[in-house]
Structure 1
């Protein structure tokens, strides 16, 4: 069974706005795509010869100029900077449980709540720090009120749903984030969830929420198989 490779595109990769990477998400999660850090600034080299400084103007090398962080003035507005923390949180969540896939990352007051799913469909919840760098609550398997694994009894449907998502989803989390930001330039991603959408024929979708609890709150829903933007809803 193919399954999303959520972390395959973490290092130095530039994502297409609606990239469809067949099972490219071992984490549906975490392209660095300029979201975590700006390029290092290379200081201009100083001349060791003071006698030649007056004779000729200093050469200008574009490679030594400070690089602007994505999302800052002159950078790529509304993309890498807002996405940085959610992508970092997803990457950290993935590293907390070997072989798992990140299904959701949701911003809370003091950090990020994440849900990861293993190859057998078991679901685990954990918490990541606000900067996305550290696991602050270790993964705990999601169980029903009786303490039984939620795959038992009434959990059969949930297991089937997670299995379908593992099988069907081919658009990774970073691509979904970038596509959503393309629809809402300047937005800040506050949560992202992989789910089956009843309104779209029970197909795998990404729901990307931006600017939660503000006047600009919106949700972008994307097809997790084709990358198509299904709808953009402004929350009242």
Structure 2
């Protein structure tokens, strides 16, 4: 199956298949999706973290409409830090991603009217194959010591930074263990600053982008409340 953008992967994990409603922290999801678009651009060799800012290395379009719009914006705007880009990109990004998924038949838009005039949209799954592949990759990463590929490691980092562990749909007594494993994956990939890049499975330029974005998400969400 052709891989889909990381922002779409996060969204599919966060939305309930049957109810079509987002679960967990909405701001965490929005920040994570904004980071995911930037990470995809880093994976494609288009942007890098240089002197404290995200900067364009290669302005060639990737072929993905949302990523290319962000690439054009990064190239045309004054330099911004990762934290600044997360705040600039997160607004309405989820709607754009949902529209793309609807257009491709991955989810469907269920428009309901409440109180005679309030429109409420739900997005239940129409094609479960994409999410099934994502969850299979994550299950392998969480239950084995095998180093995942850099895309899966980046996804694990985003899930941890955005506090989206509930999207894994694990029993309550396994959530904390999953969180520790996600953090270990991030560190092992150099995404959390805890590994030598000589041993990392990812490119140093990508690791810097992911690490700085992960820290920016965590800072934006503040200190987690004790469970």
TM-score by length of 1: 0.28
Higher strand share: 1
Larger radius of gyration: 1
Higher helix share: 2
